[in-house]
DNA sequence: TTGTAAGCGTTATCAG
DNA sequence: CTGATAACGCTTACAA
C-alpha cells in the first residue's frame, strides 16, 4: 500500500516533520528553500496525506454526507449532483448514501457518517418511525449532539432543523387553472406515500388549487402511491376503472408518471384527447412522449446550492432560516379539452379483467 | 459536538479504556460483568466510536469508493445502487463520486479517497488522458501503490486491472438479424465518445453484427455522440438529413435515445413505420414510448455484485479473472418493415432550415 | 480477564 | 523560520 508518511518526506528533504507539515498544508511561516525541497520530494515520493490522521488532530474532515432516498429516482440524482458540485466548489467532499425510503437504512448510514466525523449532514429525511410516529432515535441523537445538519426537500414533524423545501402551490394553481379553463372538472391525483412531507405538501397544494379554482376536493379522486413506477401503473389502472371517469390527472413524481403512461399506452388511451396529464418533475422522457407531458418542476440546482450554503452557515454557528422554493408549471400538449361526454374515453377500450 | 470518547465510557464504567475497547469491538476476552457495564454506559452516553482513530490504528476502514461518470445517467445510477447494496451486505460502506466523463475530476476524487484510506476502489475509468493518450498519472500511481482496485463497465488501454465488462456482441447480432429479416439494409448507429471503451466495444460489435448478417459497415452511417441527451438530438437531426435515408438505427445509450426520440417526434416521424429504433439500456421510459422501444440491455445488478465480489477477492490478495457479461436483446414494436421505397420516410415531413 | 503503555500519521504548541 | 514534543481517540502487545 501507500506507506509513505510525512516523516519519510521530511527525512528525505532534510527537515523536521513539523516543517514538512507546514509546507504541505500551506502554512505561511515557511522559507522558500524548504518549500521547494519538501514539495519536490513529496511529489517524487508520491506522498498522499492520511486524512484520518489529519482530522484526528484537527477535528475537521472537510467532508459532508448527503442522504437521499434513492439515486435511481431522477429527482434525487439531479439534486445529489447539484449538491455534490456545489460542495465541491466549496472544497468539501460529499458522501452520498441511499436510504431506499427506509428509516432503518437511513439511521445506519447516519451512524456510519457520524462515526466518520463528517463536518455536516444534508438529509432528505425518511419519514417518521413507523411504530411510534416520531422521529427515529438516531435523528434525535444527532440533533442533541449538535452535529450541523440541514434538511432538504422534506421535513420531519417535530424536528426543528433548517430546511430547504419546495412549495408546489404556485405551479399547481396555474396547472389547475389551465385544466379548468379547458373544461375539466373531475381531476384525479396520483400522490406519494403519506410519510413523506413532500407527498403531503403536494396533495394539500393540489386540494388548495382545486379550491382556488372553485372545485371541491374529492377523496375518491385521490390515489395513494409510493413515488415508484409500479404504483404509478397501479394508479393508472385505478383511474381506468374509476366510476367517475376523471378527465385529467396530476401525478406526484416522474417514476409514477412513467409507470402510469405505460399502462395508458397499452390500454390504447390517447393522452390529451382522452386524458389530460400533468406530472411533477421535469425529466427528458416527458418531452419524448407523444404528446409531450406538461410538468410541474422545481429548480433543484438552486435548491441544492442553497442546501450547501445553509449547511455552511450552520457549520459557522449561524442559524439560517428555512427557505421554500417556488415551483414552475410548464404547459404542454398533454392538456386537451375535457371529453365532451362523460365516459367517452372508455370507448373501444379493452376491458380489464 | 460529540465529545464522548472511549475514555469517558471506560471511566464511567469503572474499567480501563483497553477493556472498554475490547468489549465494544467484540473481543472474546471479556468478563460478562464488564461487558454489561460497558455496554450499558456506552448506550447511555451515546458513544459513537471515532472511525478516524480506529482506522488510523487498524489500517482498515471497511469502506470502499465507487467512481462513476454521472449519477444522472440511469445506467450508472442503477449500477451504483447495485454495488452499494451488495457492499452493504458485505459490511462495507460505499462512497459514490461523479467524474462527469472528465478524467481530471476522476483523479481528484481518487486522490480524496486515497487520502481517506478506503480499503478498495471500484472505478468506471474515465478514458485516457486527452493530451498524452495514456492513463492519467493518478491512475498509474494507484496501480503502483497496490491499492485494491477493479474496473467495472469500462477498461483502460494499457492498464491491467481485474475488470467486469459488458459484451454487446450477442444481443447486437440478434438485433441486426431482426432488422435484416424485416428488410432493413441501411442501418445507422448513433454511438458514444471514442474515449470510452464501452463506446468502442458497442461500435465494433455493431459492425461485427452487420458483417454476420451479410451487410457492409459504412462509416457514413455512423454518428459519434457523447452518451448525453443533447448529442442524441444532434444524431437524430443528422439522420433526418442523411442522403442515404437509413431505415433503422441503433443508439448506444438511453439518454441519447431519449434526445433522439424527442427530435423525431417533433419532426412527425412515426417510429416503426418510418424508422425502426433499437437502443442500449433498458429504462422504464422506453416502455412508455409509443411504440415501445426495443432494447439491448445488460444485467447491471449482476455486474454490480460481481464487481464487489471481485474487489473483495483483490483485497484478500487473490487475482480474480476478468469477466464479461452477456447482453440481452428485447424485441419490441419499435421495429417495423423497412419502408418500401427509399426516402418514403421523408414524405410530408417539415423541412429543416 | 485486565491494565499499562506504545503507537498509528498528523497538526498545534512552544521554545529556540 | 524551524525543531522537539505533546496530543487527537483508538487498538493491541505485553505484563500482571
- Write down the mean pLDDT value for chain A: 90
The three-class DSSP label of residue A219 is helix
pLDDT at A2: 58
Residue A345 has pLDDT above 50, yes or no: no
**Average pLDDT for A218-225:** 97
Residue ranges in chain B assigned as alpha helix (H): 6-13, 17-24, 32-45, 51-58, 74-89, 103-115, 137-145, 169-181, 197-212, 229-240, 254-266, 284-288, 300-315
Among protein residues, the one whose C-alpha sits closest to the C1' atom of C9 is A53
Integer Cα distance of B286 and A178 in angstroms = 29
CA distances (Å), origin B312, targets B89, B300, B318? 12, 18, 9
pLDDT tens digits for range A94-131: 888 888 777 888 888 898 888 888 999 999 998 665 55
pLDDT tens digits for range B165-198: 999 999 999 999 999 999 999 999 999 999 889 9
In chain A, how long is the greatest CA-to-CA distance?
Answer: 90
pTM: 0.89
B56 touches strand C (CB under 7 A): yes
Asked whether the beta carbons of residue B117 and residue A50 sit closer than 8 angstroms, the reply is: yes
Cell digits for B20? 472498554
CA distances (Å), origin B273, targets B182, B238, B243, B290? 12, 19, 19, 12
- Protein contacts of strand D with Cβ less than 7 Å away: A 15-19, 22, 28-31, 33-34, 53, 56-57, 59; B 3, 5-7, 17-18, 21-22, 24-25, 27, 47, 49-50, 53-54, 56-58
CA of A21 to C1' of C15 (A): 18
A268 pLDDT band, cuts 50/70/90, is very high
Cell digits for B47? 458513544
Show residues of chain B in contact with A98, CB under 8 Å.
Answer: 81, 84
- Write down the mean pLDDT value for chain B: 90
Residue B115 has pLDDT above 50, yes or no: yes
Q: Decide which of B14 and A3 is more confident.
A: B14
Integer Cα distance of A180 and B180 in angstroms = 50
The 8-class DSSP code of residue A271 comes to: B
CA of B169 to C1' of C1 (A): 63
First vs last Cα of chain A: how many Å apart? 63
Asked if residue A178 lies in contact with residue A335, where contact means CB atoms within 8 angstroms, the answer is yes
Asked whether the beta carbons of residue A2 and residue B147 sit closer than 8 angstroms, the reply is: yes
pLDDT tens digits for range B208-226: 999 999 999 999 999 999 9
Q: CA of B75, closest CA in chain A: separation in Å?
A: 9
Say what percent of chain B tops pLDDT 70: 93
A30 CA: nearest nucleotide by C1': D1
CA of A60 to C1' of C16 (A): 30
CA of A18 to C1' of D15 (A): 35
Residue B79 has pLDDT above 60, yes or no: yes
Spell out the residues 6+ positions from residue A132 whose beta carbon is closer than 8 angstroms to its own: none
pLDDT tens digits for range A27-49: 888 999 999 999 999 999 888 88
Residue B57 has pLDDT above 90, yes or no: no
In chain B, which residue's Cα lies nearest the Cα of A119?
B1
CA angle at residue B57 from B41 to A93, to 5 degrees? 90
pLDDT tens digits for range A43-88: 998 888 888 898 888 888 889 999 998 889 999 999 999 999 999 8
Residue B278 has pLDDT above 70, yes or no: yes
Show residues of chain A in contact with B44, CB under 8 Å.
Answer: none
B51 touches strand C (CB under 7 A): no
Q: CA of B290, closest CA in chain A: separation in Å?
A: 7
Residue B131 has pLDDT above 70, yes or no: no
**Average pLDDT for A212-223:** 96
Q: How many CB pairs under 8 A join A and B?
A: 132
Residue A347 has pLDDT above 50, yes or no: no
CA distances (Å), origin B125, targets A202, B110, B157, B197, B305? 40, 11, 10, 9, 18
pLDDT at A157: 81
Show residues of chain A in contact with B66, CB under 8 Å.
Answer: none
pLDDT at A140: 84
pLDDT tens digits for range A188-208: 999 999 988 999 999 999 999
Residue B351 has pLDDT above 60, yes or no: no
Cell digits for B61? 476502514
Q: CA of A145, closest CA in chain B: separation in Å?
A: 5
pLDDT tens digits for range B222-265: 999 999 999 999 999 999 999 999 999 999 999 999 999 999 99
CA distances (Å), origin B163, targets B64, B166, B197, B328? 16, 10, 12, 20
pLDDT tens digits for range B87-113: 989 989 888 888 877 788 888 888 888
pLDDT tens digits for range B84-93: 999 989 989 8
Q: Decide which of B51 and B331 is more confident.
A: B331
Say what percent of chain A tops pLDDT 90: 69
**Average pLDDT for B255-279:** 97
Asked if residue A128 lies in contact with residue A135, where contact means CB atoms within 8 angstroms, the answer is yes
Q: Annotate B78-115 with DSSP letters as a single string.
A: HHHHHHHHHHHHTT-EEEEEE-TT-HHHHHHHHHHHHH
CA of B181 to C1' of C11 (A): 71
pLDDT at B6: 93
Q: Nearest Cβ partner of A98 from B52, B81, B285?
A: B81
Q: For residue A165, how far is the Cα from the chain centroid?
A: 10
Asked whether the beta carbons of residue B1 and residue A145 sit closer than 8 angstroms, the reply is: yes
Asked whether the beta carbons of residue B52 and residue A290 sit closer than 8 angstroms, the reply is: no
Residue A161 has pLDDT above 60, yes or no: yes
Q: Residue A259, Cβ neighbours under 10 Å: how many?
A: 25
Q: Residue A28, Cβ neighbours under 10 Å: how many?
A: 5
Amino acid at each position: 500500500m501507500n506507506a509513505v508518511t510525512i516523516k519519510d518526506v521530511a527525512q528525505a528533504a532534510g527537515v523536521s516533520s513539523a516543517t514538512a507539515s507546514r509546507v504541505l498544508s500551506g502554512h505561511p511561516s515557511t522559507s522558500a528553500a524548504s518549500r521547494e525541497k519538501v514539495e519536490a520530494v513529496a511529489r517524487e515520493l508520491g506522498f498522499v496525506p492520511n486524512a484520518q490522521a489529519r482530522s484526528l488532530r484537527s477535528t475537521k474532515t472537510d467532508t459532508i454526507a448527503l442522504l437521499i432516498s434513492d439515486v435511481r429516482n431522477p429527482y434525487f440524482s439531479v439534486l445529489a449532483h447539484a449538491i455534490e458540485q456545489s460542495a465541491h466548489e466549496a472544497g468539501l467532499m460529499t458522501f452520498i448514501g441511499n436510504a431506499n425510503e427506509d428509516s432503518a437504512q437511513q439511521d445506519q448510514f447516519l451512524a456510519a457518517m457520524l462515526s466518520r466525523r463528517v463536518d455536516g449532514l444534508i438529509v432528505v429525511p425518511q419519514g417518521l418511525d413507523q411504530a411510534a410516529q416520531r422521529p427515529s432515535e438516531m435523528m434525535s441523537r444527532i440533533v442533541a449532539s449538535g452535529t450541523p445538519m440541514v434538511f432538504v426537500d422534506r421535513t420531519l414533524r417535530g424536528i426543528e432543523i433548517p430546511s430547504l423545501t419546495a412549495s408546489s402551490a404556485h405551479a399547481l394553481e396555474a396547472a389547475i387553472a389551465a385544466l379548468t379553463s379547458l373544461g375539466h372538472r373531475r381531476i384525479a391525483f396520483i400522490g406519494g406515500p403519506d410519510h413523506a412531507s413532500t407527498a403531503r405538501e403536494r396533495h394539500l397544494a393540489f386540494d388548495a388549487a382545486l379550491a382556488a379554482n372553485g372545485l371541491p376536493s374529492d377523496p375518491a379522486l385521490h390515489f395513494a402511491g409510493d413515488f415508484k413506477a409500479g404504483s404509478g401503473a397501479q394508479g393508472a389502472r385505478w383511474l381506468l376503472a374509476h366510476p367517475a371517469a376523471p378527465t385529467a390527472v396530476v401525478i406526484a413524481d416522474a417514476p409514477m408518471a412513467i409507470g402510469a403512461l405505460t399502462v395508458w399506452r397499452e390500454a390504447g388511451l390517447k393522452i390529451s384527447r382522452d386524458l389530460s396529464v400533468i406530472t411533477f418533475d421535469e425529466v427528458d422522457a416527458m418531452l419524448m412522449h407523444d404528446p409531450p407531458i406538461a410538468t410541474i418542476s422545481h429548480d433543484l440546482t438552486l435548491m441544492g446550492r442553497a442546501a450547501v450554503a445553509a449547511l455552511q452557515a450552520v457549520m459557522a454557528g449561524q442559524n439560517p432560516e428555512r427557505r421554500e422554493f417556488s415551483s414552475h408549471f410548464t404547459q404542454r400538449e398533454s392538456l386537451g379539452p375535457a371529453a365532451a361526454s362523460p365516459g367517452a374515453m372508455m370507448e373501444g377500450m379493452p376491458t380489464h379483467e
